[in-house]
Amino acid sequence: MDTRTLTVTLALVTATLSLLMVLFAFYRWQRSLALYASGFVAGMAGFLLLLGQGSVSPWVSVLAANLLLTLCYACLPWGLRTAFRLPRPWARRYWVYLGLWCVAEVAATFVWDSYPARAAVSSLAFMLWAGEFLAAAWRAPGLSLPIKAASVTVAGAFVLAHLVRIVLLAGLSATDRLFQEDNGVTVYTLLMSVVFAMLWAGVILTIEVAGLLRRLEERNNALKALAHTDELTGLSNRHQLHQAMTIEKERCLRYRQPLSLVFFDLDHFKQINDTWGHPVGDSVLKQTAGVVRGLVRGPDSLFRWGGEEFMLLVPQTSLEGATLLAEKLRLALEGASFPVDHRVTASFGVAEWRPPETNESWIERVDLALYRAKNAGRNRVVAWQQGGSVPGARVHLEWRREWESGSRLVDDQHRQLLELANGLMDLSLANQPPPLVARQLDELVDHVARHFADEEGVLAEAAYPELPEHSSLHRGLLDEARLLRRHFDQGLADAASFFQFLVSQVVLGHILTADTRFFPYTRREAGL
Do 364 and 264 belong together in one domain?
yes
**Contact in structure between 229 and 44 (CB atoms under 8 Å):** no
Q: Is 2 exposed, middle or buried (0-12, 13-18, 19+ CB in 10 A)?
A: exposed
**What is the tens place of the pLDDT at every residue in 189-233?**
888 888 888 898 888 888 888 877 887 877 776 666 555 678 888
Q: Is 5 exposed, middle or buried (0-12, 13-18, 19+ CB in 10 A)?
A: exposed
Do 367 and 404 belong together in one domain?
no
- Rounded to whole angstroms, the Cα distance separating 347 from 368 reads 12
Last residue of a domain, one of 335, 359, 390: 390
Beta bridge partners of 352: 260
Q: Which amino acid is at 471?
A: S
pLDDT of the residue at 220: 73
Rounded mean pLDDT, 278-286: 93
Last residue of a domain, one of 343, 368, 390: 390
- Strand (E) positions, 166-277? 259-266
pLDDT of the residue at 394: 46
Rounded mean pLDDT, 334-352: 89
pLDDT of the residue at 41: 87
DSSP states along 110-156? IIS--HHHHHHHHHHHHHHHHHHHHHHHHH-TT--HHHHHHHHHHHH
pLDDT of the residue at 393: 38
Report which DSSP code applies to 56: B
- Give how many domains the chain has, as a whole number: 3
444: nearest Cα among 415, 428, 424, 458? 424
3-state helix, strand, coil in the chain (%, to 5): 70, 5, 25
- The number of beta carbons lying within 10 Å of the beta carbon of residue 366 is 25
Q: Residue 436 is part of which domain span?
A: 397-528
Do 219 and 234 belong together in one domain?
no
Residue 27 pLDDT > 80:
no
pLDDT of the residue at 144: 84
Least confident of 148-152, 302-306, 502-506, 513-517: 502-506
Report which DSSP code applies to 236: B
Do 421 and 525 belong together in one domain?
yes
Rounded mean pLDDT, 261-279: 91
Do 344 and 416 belong together in one domain?
no
Do 353 and 256 belong together in one domain?
yes
Task: Say whether the peptide bond before residue 465 is cis (omega within 30 degrees of 0).
Answer: no
Do 243 and 374 belong together in one domain?
yes
Do 470 and 502 belong together in one domain?
yes
What percentage of the chain exceeds 70 in pLDDT?
88
Selected residue with higher pLDDT from 177 and 302:
302
Q: Which amino acid is at 255?
A: Y
- Rounded to whole angstroms, the Cα distance separating 183 from 192 reads 14
Residue 398 pLDDT > 80:
no
Do 296 and 373 belong together in one domain?
yes
Beta bridge partners of 381: 348
Instruction: Tell me if residue 176 falls in helix, strand or coil.
Output: coil
Residue 421 pLDDT > 70:
yes
Last residue of a domain, one of 170, 196, 226: 226
Neighbouring residues of 306: CB distance < 8 A, sequence distance ≥ 6: 238
Rounded mean pLDDT, 479-503: 80
- Rounded to whole angstroms, the Cα distance separating 467 from 138 reads 82
Residue 389 pLDDT > 50:
no
Report which DSSP code applies to 278: H
pLDDT of the residue at 289: 94
Do 191 and 170 belong together in one domain?
yes
- Rounded to whole angstroms, the Cα distance separating 36 from 25 reads 8
Helices (H) and strands (E) in the chain, counts: 18, 5
CATH number at residue 329: 3.30.70.270
pLDDT of the residue at 345: 92
pTM for this entry: 0.45
By residue count, the chain amounts to 528
Selected residue with higher pLDDT from 9 and 1:
9
What percentage of the chain exceeds 90 in pLDDT?
27
pLDDT of the residue at 242: 86
Do 104 and 29 belong together in one domain?
yes
Rounded mean pLDDT, 246-257: 90
Rounded mean pLDDT, 461-484: 89
Q: Please state whether beta strands 301-306 and 381-383 pair in parallel, antiparallel, or not at all (unpaired).
A: unpaired
Give the count of alpha carbons within 13 A of 239, CB side only.
7
352 membership: H or E segment, kind and range: strand 346-352
Residue 341 pLDDT > 90:
no
Q: Is 256 exposed, middle or buried (0-12, 13-18, 19+ CB in 10 A)?
A: exposed
CATH number at residue 443: 1.20.120.50
Residue 396 has phi, psi (to 5 degrees) of -135, 125
Do 297 and 438 belong together in one domain?
no
Residue 388 pLDDT > 60:
no
**Contact in structure between 105 and 63 (CB atoms under 8 Å):** yes
Residue 396 pLDDT > 80:
no
Rounded mean pLDDT, 455-476: 91
First to last CA, the chain: 90
Rounded mean pLDDT, 332-354: 90
Selected residue with higher pLDDT from 118 and 25:
118
Q: Work out the pLDDT band at 430, boundaries 50, 70, 90.
A: low
If you average pLDDT over every residue of the chain, what do you get? Answer: 84
pLDDT of the residue at 157: 93
pLDDT of the residue at 391: 40
- Rounded to whole angstroms, the Cα distance separating 497 from 43 reads 93
